């Protein structure tokens, strides 16, 4: 299943640590937005790890995408190539 993960973390060190962790699980599509393709068990493990990083003012959201085939992407991908997929 695909998940969209986004966050708002004010502390630079925590934000960097969180970004490194998320890059191990998925693709960074924006500075604080990731696409992660995994199962529910792995996303729960990730949430447990993220919980140790965040504090009461941080925000972290996980949105399951039920039909990833309908995602439309436009722009430059991590490979540096222009992509457009439906």
For residue range 35-57, what is the model confidence (pLDDT) as tens digits? 999 999 999 999 999 999 999 99
The count of domains in the chain is: 1
Write the CATH number for 12: 3.30.70.240
* pLDDT beyond 70 at 25: yes
pLDDT tops 50 at residue 3: yes
Please work out, in degrees rounded to the nearest 5, the angle formed at the alpha carbon of residue 79 by the alpha carbons of 74 and 84: 20
Specify the pLDDT at position 86: 45
Query: 4 or 72, which is more confident?
Result: 4
Q: Domain range for residue 41?
A: 2-85
Number of Cβ atoms within 10 Å of the Cβ of 5: 23
Which pLDDT score, from 0 to 100, does residue 71 have? 72
pTM: 0.79
């Amino acid at each position: 299943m695909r998940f969209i993960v986004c966050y708002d973390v004010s502390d630079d060190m925590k934000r960097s640590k969180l970004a490194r962790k998320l890059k191990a699980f998925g693709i960074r599509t924006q500075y604080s937005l990731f696409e992660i393709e995994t199962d529910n068990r792995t996303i729960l493990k990730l949430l447990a790890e993220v919980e140790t990083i965040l504090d009461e003012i941080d925000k972290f959201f996980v949105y399951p995408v039920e039909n990833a085939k309908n995602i439309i992407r436009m722009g430059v991908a991590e490979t540096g190539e222009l992509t457009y997929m439906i």
